[in-house]
Homo-oligomer: A and B are copies of this chain.
Amino acid sequence: MAIEKSILLTKMDSLEDQTKFQSRTSQVYSSMRSDIITGILRPGHKLKIEELTKTYGVGSSPIREALSLLTSDTLVTRNDQRGFRVVEVSTEEFDELLKTRVLVEQLALKESMLNGDDIWEEKIILAAHRLSRLPRSASSDIFVANDEWDNLHKKFHMSLVSACGSSILIKFCDQLYDQNTRYRHLAAPRSYPMREINVEHDAISTAVVSRNKESSLKLLADHYQRTGSRLRSDIVALLNS
């Protein structure tokens, strides 16, 4: 017990240290990234350096460096001599993102099913289970993004591709996932029927664990297509308002 506690403390300490010794650039990068993905910073918004120095409480250099990093995540666009803005959203971009995600994650899942071991299977089952227990919305009447749900949802989807054997590919899936999350947050914040999403997740887990390639890939694609088409209509509505 005493040992457990000390391990816990050590972990926390190291975590604190990490934050403490993180450069301002890294901190600002994380904050801004999150602000763009959650939609606090709106698509197309002009990112003025001076304004940002005030909101994030740091000088211009860390801001510019963070913006440069975000550029490569395709969350920010740079236009030489005329600054940075949050990338726009469009149905075309969304369609391309969705298509790419289906293709690439199918590929990564296929590879994972070839290489994955028991531990990998258990990771998926566990992630699906934990996710199913969480409410999609943080409030029961109106929809409020639930960070915990977001985290576990990402964990579940990333667990599927985690055994593909290519950290490069995993990183790519991660980026695509985050881009999609931005669209999800921007879409009309209303609570979709949870039950079917969980059913779909479970169906995927089951097919994957039983190593049914055909079915797994089909179910994953259908899942993306279904949630995607709902999101799409929200985006159309958003863009016409």
Contact = CB atoms under 8 A, between A and B. Distances in A.
B166 A103 contact: yes
A100 B168 contact: yes
Given A81-B21, A107-B107, A100 B169 contact: yes
Given A23-B81, A26-B80, A103 B96 contact: no
Q: Is the interface of A mostly helix, strand, loop or mixed?
A: helix
Contact of A65 (B65, B100, B167): B65
A7 to B, nearest CB: 25
A72 interface: yes
A169 B68 CA distance: 21
B26 A166 contact: no
A168 B176 CA distance: 9
Interface size class of A (residues with CB under 8 A): 20 to 34
A218 interface: no
A61 interface: yes
Given A61-B64, A72-B69, A168-B176, A103 B107 contact: yes
A165 to B, nearest CB: 7
Contact of A168 (B68, B97, B166): B97
B99 A166 contact: yes
A165 B98 CA distance: 12
A58 to B, nearest CB: 14
A71 interface: yes
Nearest to A62: B64
A71 B69 CA distance: 8
A103 B72 CA distance: 23
B111 A80 contact: no
Given A21-B80, A61-B64, A72-B73, A169 B26 contact: no
A29 to B, nearest CB: 9
Contacts of A104: 104, 107, 169
Q: Which 3 A-B pairs have the closest CB atoms?
A: A72-B72, A68-B68, A100-B166
Given A21-B81, A103-B107, 16 more contacts: A23-B80, A25-B68, A26-B80, A61-B61, A61-B64, A64-B65, A65-B68, A69-B71, A71-B72, A72-B73, A74-B168, A99-B166, A103-B111, A103-B169, A104-B169, A168-B176
